[in-house]
Copies of this chain bind each other. A is one copy, B any other.
Amino acid sequence: MESNKSSQAYPMKGGDGVSSYTNNSSYQKSLAEVVTSLIGEAIAKKLDVQNFACGHPFRIADLGCSIGPNTFIAVQNIINSVQLKYQTLRITSTPEFQAFFNDHASNDFNTLFKSLPADKQYFAAGVPGSFYTRLFPRSSFHLIYSSFALHWLSKVPDEVMERGSLAWNKGRVHYGGAKEEVVMAYKQQYERDMHEFFNARAEEVVCGGLVVVLVPGRPNEVPHSKCIGNVLFEVLSCCLLEMAKEGRIDEQTVDHLNIPIYYASPQELEEIVNQNGYFTIDRMEGLPHIAEPETKHAATRLALGIRVGVEAVFKGHLEEETIDELFDSYSKKLAQVPSAYSSGGASIMFAVFRRNNINVIKK
Contacts and interface: CB of A to CB of B under 8 A. Distances in A.
B118 A3 contact: yes
A125 B125 contact: yes
Contact of A123 (B96, B120, B122, B136): B136
Contacts of A125: 100, 125-127
A109 B106 contact: no
Given A3-B118, A118-B4, A135 B123 contact: yes
A98 B1 contact: no
B57 A96 contact: no
A134 interface: yes
Given A124-B128, A125-B127, A98 B57 contact: no
A140 B100 CA distance: 15
Interface in A63-100: 96-98, 100
A128 B126 contact: yes
A121 interface: yes
Interface in A107-157: 108-110, 113-114, 116, 118, 120-129, 134-140
A105 interface: yes
Number of copies: 2
A98 B128 contact: no
Given A105-B113, A126-B113, A126-B128, A137 B1 contact: no
Contact of A57 (B3, B108, B113, B140): B140
B138 A57 contact: yes
B127 A96 contact: no
A108 B110 contact: yes
Contacts of A57: 137-138, 140
Contacts of A4: 118
A171 B347 CA distance: 66
Contacts of A1: 120-123
A110 B3 CA distance: 18
Contacts of A129: 124
Contacts of A96: 137-138
Nearest to A139: B55
Contacts of A109: 109-110, 113, 126
A74 B135 CA distance: 21
B3 A98 contact: no
Give the interface centre of A3, A97, A127 by most chain B CB atoms within 10 Å.
A127
Contacts of A138: 55, 57, 96
Nearest to A57: B137
A122 B136 CA distance: 9
A53 to B, nearest CB: 9
Contact of A98 (B105, B114, B118, B136): B136
Contacts of A108: 110
Nearest to A126: B126
Closest 7 CB pairs of A and B: A57-B137, A113-B128, A125-B125, A126-B126, A96-B137, A105-B113, A109-B109
14 contacts: A1-B120, A1-B122, A57-B138, A96-B138, A98-B136, A100-B125, A109-B109, A109-B113, A109-B126, A113-B128, A114-B128, A116-B128, A123-B127, A123-B136
